[in-house]
Structure 1
């Protein structure tokens, strides 16, 4: 066995796999799999380093109507775009679920009240905060993660805080 470094071996080991049922790049891994629910095929797109696929969808049958159509570069790039969009929508949905905002007008002026939920497994909580029209924070309080933010609850909370 040689102790010398072989650059061609290092390059080959780092080369992405591009096979008929398995295709990958530096970021994504596509894998054509047998669909257990029927006679068809599915494709999964997994972000490198993550355990769960970001996308699983039906895959086209080949000409023999028995085997899957092989993966190729254009199909892989389309799958990457779709998987990226699914992840982006999921992140937006999560952000919308964890962040709420209402605008209120009081005798003291106009305010924007936000509720930011911290989904801790052991002790979830939320932070309630109010900003004035200039964007300056005027109040902040830690509340229960189940706090219901409405214009009325925000106005009542802010009235107590500013009193």
Structure 2
């Protein structure tokens, strides 16, 4: 349960919301920081939520105030640090997702090097993957649609190249 009164709770959070700078609630054009009671212990936590998102990007412990009962109030340096940290968390999540959805291998050597890439398209209705091959200068040599479960390995890439880059790969 958080210790923000209903009057302090924003009716909606979007980019048009006015900036707020209160001891337990800060908002700018992109982020909202809330200091909340930590349900797991006697301490406090802070959540950082990007406007328009249902879940916070970051939740972490928050410092106790001098009285050792109440939280330290939010301030400008703390808010900016929280924004930087939350942005970094989102960036890492994006990098992880990109790595899961994109793979590549290089085949050959020197001027004969071919880069084969697999890009998974996680479409709810029609998930698939696109296999593509480019020469060392970036010219497209072939492209094929395949199942999202296709395993891109050196051997599977070589087999596709040797088969003449067929448009469908199983």
Partner residue in 1 for 2:117: 114
Aligned length: 150
- Which TM-score applies when normalising by structure 1? 0.86
Give yes or no for the alignment of 1:154 onto 2:160.
no
The alignment status of 1:44 with 2:37, answered yes or no, reads no
Name the CA distance, whole Å, in 2 between partners of 1:130 and 1:143. 14
Q: Decide whether aligned partners of structure 1 residues 76 and 88 sit closer, same or farther in structure 2, where only a CA change above 3 A counts.
A: same
C-alpha RMSD of matched pairs (Å)? 1.9
Q: Which runs of 4+ in 1 moved over 4 A?
A: none
Between Structure 1 and Structure 2, the one with more helix by share is 1
Q: Deviations over 1:99-150 (max 9, x none)?
A: 11100018x9320000001112233211000001221111111111011111
* C-alpha distance 65-143 of structure 1, shift in aligned 2 (>3 A): same
Please tell me whether the aligned partners of residues 114 and 133 of structure 2 are also in contact (alpha carbons under 8 angstroms). yes
Q: Distance in 1 between matches of 2:43 and 2:133?
A: 54
Deviations 1:13-47 (A, max 9, x none): 96411001100111110001111111111100011
Instruction: With the length of structure 2 as denominator, give the TM-score of the two structures.
Output: 0.83
> Separation in 1 of the partners of 2:17 and 2:80?
20
